[in-house]
Amino acid sequence: MPVPEPSLPDLDRVLEEVAEIARPHAFEGEVADYIPALATADADRFGMAAVDLDGTEHVTGEVDEPFPIQSISKVFSLVLAMQKVDQAEGVANELWSRVGREPSGDPFNSLVQLERESGVPRNPMINAGALIVDDVLLDHCDDAKQATLDLLELLAGEPLELNEGVLRSEQGAAHRNRAMANLMASFGNLTHEVDEVLDDYTHACAISMTTRQLARATRFLGNGGVEPRTGERILSPALAKRAAAIMFTCGTYDAAGEFAFQVGLPCKSGVAGGIIGVVPRRMGLCVWSPPLDVAGNSLAGRIALHEFVSRCDLSIV
Ligand code: GLU
């Protein structure tokens, strides 16, 4: 007998309970400070949103406060690149010959593996991999920065802005990312100027979104690649599955195994404390709390996702 899809409890009540449990744990984590502008984030901010495919929005906390999406942008840059080069759904194209699809087991900004593996990053969810994705986008978009913003505006259903302070701060602190881009260029795995690629990358990281907007923007990945509000197809079902699969195995730094174990959903986190999650055929999730755990994932966010998914029986595994 197949196990039936669980019927959901009252999600607004569950979110309130989860916030009460998770929020105090934020103070066990540390706000990222290697990008100076991120260090000023309020450690006590917390928001969580679950947006159903039918558009119903369940929220708790500061869900309408914008924060820089940082590495969450890597999902949407990958989606754009898939739109451009993956239409044939092959695996040996100009994207997948230059970046892998395996978890790295190393920190997101590590150079060690990249040197050992001849400038081919393990996956598009780590910084080096996202730089390759941006390099591919520069070949296929008239304005790659605008294309990423346009996609996110379409998915969020609202105009978005950049956080100019975070952009400038990251541009002044991009030493490791620049080193990675140069290393990949030395192996012949970068076709544009390092500065041009870095510029696209830092712009995507500085896009400012709210928890509510990110939960909306994530839904199409659990809806066979179709944006539920407009009915617009963003990706084919096969490519939407692939994007979510990469989130599941690689989306939460080198704690992706632990995330699969505890949360059991495709997720992607960013150093400003946001985490998005895909609940297939049901909803998009986002949680935001700036202090991070040792792996770089929002500490209270991870706890909140674990509690939410357990109470609602939503893990995919
Ligand atoms: N902009 C950040 C960096 O390049 C993103 C890191 C992250 O959110 O994981 O380091």
Q: Helix, strand, or coil here: 27?
A: helix
Residue 6 in domain: no
Q: Does residue 1 form part of some domain? A: no
Q: Are residues 105 and 41 in the same domain?
A: no
Task: Name the residue of 69, 111, 125, 205 whose CB sits within 8 Å of the most ligand 1 atoms, as the mutation to test its pocket.
Answer: 205
Q: What's residue 3's pLDDT?
A: 61
- pTM, rounded to two decimals: 0.96
Report if residue 3 sits inside a domain. no
- Same-domain pairing of 164 and 188: yes
User: How do residues 108-130 score in pLDDT, each as one tens digit?
Assistant: 778 899 999 999 999 999 999 99
CA of 127 to the centre of ligand 1 (A): 7
30 lies in the same domain as 118: no
pLDDT at position 76 is: 98
* CA 134 / ligand 1 centre spacing (Å): 14
Q: For residues 256 and 164, state if they share a domain.
A: no
- How many distinct structural domains can be found in the chain? 2
Residues 284 and 191 in one domain: no
Contacts of 35 (CB under 8 A, 6+ apart): 166, 169, 170, 173, 271
Q: Domain limits at 186?
A: 72-205
* Confidence band for 87, pLDDT divided at 50, 70 and 90: low
pLDDT tens, 181-223? 999 999 999 999 999 999 999 999 999 999 999 999 999 999 9
Q: Is residue 4 part of a domain?
A: no
Q: Which of 205, 220, 241 delimits the end of a domain?
A: 205
The single-letter DSSP state of residue 122 is S
pLDDT of amino acid 4: 63
Indicate whether 112 and 237 sit together in one domain.
no
Q: Tell the burial category of 72 from Cβ atoms under 10 Å away from its Cβ (0-12, 13-18, 19+).
A: buried
Domain termination residue (choose one: 205, 240, 256): 205
Pocket test for ligand 1, best of 33, 73, 108, 162 (most atoms within 8 A of CB): 108
Q: How many Å apart are CA 147 and CA 141, to the nearest integer? A: 7
Is 298 touching ligand 1 by the criterion CB < 6 Å? no
Answer whether residue 89 shows pLDDT above 60. no
- Please indicate, yes or no, if residue 198 is contained in any of the structural domains: yes
**Nearest residue to 274 (alpha-carbon basis) of 36, 76, 135:** 76
User: Which of 317 and 166 is assigned the larger pLDDT?
Assistant: 166
pLDDT-based confidence at 7, cuts 50/70/90? Answer: confident
| Residue corresponding to tokens 């598009």 | 124
Based on the fold, state whether residues 15 and 96 are members of the same structural domain. Answer: no
Q: Are 26 and 56 part of one and the same domain?
A: yes
**Same domain, residue pair 308 and 193:** no
Give the pLDDT band (50/70/90) at residue 260: very high
pLDDT digits (tens, 9 = 90+) for 31-53: 999 999 999 999 999 999 999 99
* 215 plus 295 within the same structural domain: yes
Quick one: 99 and 196 in the same domain?
A: yes
- Residue predicted with more confidence, 27 or 93: 27
Q: What is the CATH number of the domain that holds 32?
A: 3.40.710.10
**What letter does residue 4 receive in the DSSP assignment?**
P
**182 CA distance to ligand 1 middle (Å):** 17
Ligand 1 contact, 163 CB (< 6 A): no
- Boundary residue ending a domain (183, 205, 227): 205
Q: Are residues 108 and 159 in the same domain?
A: yes
Is 143 inside a domain boundary? yes
| Dist. CA 269–CA 251, nearest whole Å | 7
118: left (phi over 0), alpha (psi -120 to 50) or beta: left
Is residue 191 a part of any domain in this protein? yes
